[in-house]
Structure 1
Amino acid sequence: MHRFDTSAKGVYLITVTPFTDGGALDLASTDRMVDFCLERGVTGLTILGIMGEATKLTAEEAKAFTRQVVQRAAGRVPIVVGVSSPGFAAMGELTRAVMDLGASGVMVAPPSTVRTDDQIAGYFDMVNETLGPVPWCLQDHPVATGVQMSPAVILRILKNSPHCVMLKHEDWPGLAKLSAIRAAGDKGEVRRVSILTGNGGGLFLPEELSRGADGAMTGFAWPEMMVDVVAAHAGGDVERAHDLFDAYLPLARYEQQAGIGLAVRKHLLHQRGAIASPFVRKPGPRLSAQDLADIDRLVRRQDKRLHELG
């Protein structure tokens, strides 16, 4: 099993959860999806996230899906599992289950019920008690949670959380926050942790890498975009990183539309052969004929631009 620690970098792809056309969990398609991601060079997988329809799964389905992903990955990359929950009994139970199945660590976001800095910090003190020595990722995603975490409170959490090894930075706008947290680590004000970014399929990825991010933890139907952009940036070819990113940006932007984004991603992954069905569990969107025409046009233009870039 790969370690999940503060040295994490690259692309931890947020995966979808495949279902059959009838809505059942599709474990055979899960294998296809894992293979698809690993073949495109991701350095980790993150499952049961917001775009993974985690809230639509039963507890047993969540465990079965985790087991399948871990077994298929066979130790080639770390597997991080979302275990966010307002209640600590459920969080602790799921964490113990997925770690026993071979997960590398877990990811936790604050519940919408915490608002002040003291409430947020107190919540994560209880997260530490619940998770014990399990390595975990702090997810800062105010668009989804409604919780605004300032740099000061994030640094406070990191100082109080010896087993928090990563910040998943998803605030928007958030470049100044990323810079402040990285600077604090560089100055020794707090231990350095991995920072992976998740903003809308990586919509600010090149800029975030320039601000000190170690990579990306998000989803997109073309995971190779993030892999290639991160690699080019790490290799010092920042202009190449921006050129590649720009080629994918129109489709990445389209995939981030509120309401239909997950359906777009699953449709594209189905088209690419990564999953057998584009089914989204209820409540979920359906794509119109106009949506599909838009997507086809964007894919054609993306292919053309990538060919031009070589």
Structure 2
Amino acid sequence: MGALLTRRTHGVYIIAATPFTESGAVDFDSLDRLVAFYEGHGVTGITILGMMGEADKLSPEERHQVVDRVLARTDLPVVVGVSDPGLASLCALGRYAMERGAAGVMVAPTRGPAREDRIEGYFHAVAQGLGADVPLVYQDFPLSTGVAVSPALIRRLSQDLPQMVMLKHEDWPGLTKISALRDHEADPAVARLSILCGNGGLYLPQELARGADGAMTGFAYPEALVQSVALHAAGQVEAAEDLFDRYLPILRHEQQPGWGLALRKHILMRRGAIACAATRAPGPRLGARDIEELERLMRRTEIRLKER
């Protein structure tokens, strides 16, 4: 069992894929391999059942099975995505995960009118339903949810709800949001908020420079995230960005809307982390030319890294 999330949590919490067989069943043997792969590349923690984990395509029983398998396999802190249209289902999964040793749960705002009073009321209801002892991550991903919120609302929620200890920052563009949140903390009365960033890590060097504590995303080269964050934390800012730049072509390719998950799973398969690159239907499937293109980028990435 890993430590609970706090307002000082930092590092790289990798967003885990959910491996499937060609027939669409959850591949638990590959899930074991994937956890070992992430551990071997030095991640700080693991986040499961996120959007990249295809959680919305899993049955409640499968979600429980994934939680059980990962928590049994690793001593790293594990964050569980519990977003659900139904508040009762969300809270039930959250309590299940915490009882089995999760470090915290992640929740995105529900789709609907982008009114801040609606979002504020929703997160108060989530916090009450989960309980004050459950560390809560606000997933701020308006490109997916359609719900954009201001830094002021995030700060207000963080102040009013002591258990909301982390922001998963995926607003795009969103660098000014990070700066605004850190500027708030110049006031001693304002509690610090841990900020880990997503979007595949596409803007990670700039986000770290703005005050982010690390990454929470699923780039299929987790070592790029781990090493970049470590170098930046050590004060080697230019070295961190130089290293990160070597991965940019394939990272950018992996960020294609609609196709990114299939690309990412193919890379994980080619790197030996999972047995099959299938997404669960309905989901994208790469063609021969897509694969040829991607594997060329993988070869170019390896050459760039050897040159370094």
TM-score tier (shorter): over 0.9
Q: CA deviation digits over 1:9-65, x for unaligned, max 9?
A: 110000000111211111111110000000000000000000100000000000001
Task: Name 1:61's counterpart in structure 2.
Answer: 62
Q: What displacement does 1:258 show? A: 0.8
Unaligned runs of 5+ in 2: none
Amino acid at match of 1:134: V
TM value normalised by structure 2: 0.97
Paired residue secondary structure (2:168):
strand
Paired residue secondary structure (2:279):
coil
In percent, how many aligned pairs have the same letter?
A: 55
Q: What displacement does 1:186 show? A: 3.3
The answer on whether the counterparts of 2:140 and 2:171 sit within 8 Å (CA) in structure 1 is yes
User: Where do residues 111-150 of structure 1 align in structure 2 (5 Å cutoff)?
Assistant: 111-132=110-131, 133-150=133-150
Q: CA deviation digits over 1:58-104, x for unaligned, max 9?
A: 0000000110000000x2x1000001123211111111111122211
Paired residue secondary structure (2:185):
helix
Amino acid at match of 1:240: A
Amino acid at match of 1:13: I
Paired residue secondary structure (1:179):
helix
Q: Which runs of 4+ in 1 moved over 2 A?
A: 186-190
The answer on whether the counterparts of 2:265 and 2:278 sit within 8 Å (CA) in structure 1 is yes
Q: What displacement does 1:189 show? A: 4.9
The answer on whether the counterparts of 1:251 and 1:298 sit within 8 Å (CA) in structure 2 is yes
Task: Name 2:237's counterpart in structure 1.
Answer: 238
Write the distance in 2 (CA, Å) between the matches of 1:66 and 1:2: 14
Q: CA deviation digits over 1:220-252, x for unaligned, max 9?
A: 110000001001111111111111111001101
Amino acid at match of 1:12: Y
The answer on whether the counterparts of 2:11 and 2:43 sit within 8 Å (CA) in structure 1 is yes
Amino acid at match of 2:161: S
Q: What displacement does 1:117 show? A: 1.4
The answer on whether the counterparts of 2:8 and 2:192 sit within 8 Å (CA) in structure 1 is no
Write the distance in 1 (CA, Å) between the matches of 2:14 and 2:108: 17
Task: Name 1:203's counterpart in structure 2.
Answer: 202
Task: Name 1:6's counterpart in structure 2.
Answer: 7
Write the distance in 1 (CA, Å) between the matches of 2:254 and 2:189: 38
Write the distance in 1 (CA, Å) between the matches of 2:99 and 2:124: 23
Write the distance in 2 (CA, Å) between the matches of 1:156 and 1:6: 15
TM value normalised by structure 1: 0.97
Write the distance in 1 (CA, Å) between the matches of 2:33 and 2:124: 39
Q: How many residues align?
A: 306
Amino acid at match of 2:207: E
Task: Name 1:296's counterpart in structure 2.
Answer: 295
Amino acid at match of 2:63: A
Task: Name 2:35's counterpart in structure 1.
Answer: 34
The answer on whether the counterparts of 1:158 and 1:190 sit within 8 Å (CA) in structure 2 is no
User: Where do residues 164-183 of structure 1 align in structure 2 (5 Å cutoff)?
Assistant: 164-183=164-183
The answer on whether the counterparts of 1:198 and 1:218 sit within 8 Å (CA) in structure 2 is yes
Amino acid at match of 2:256: Q
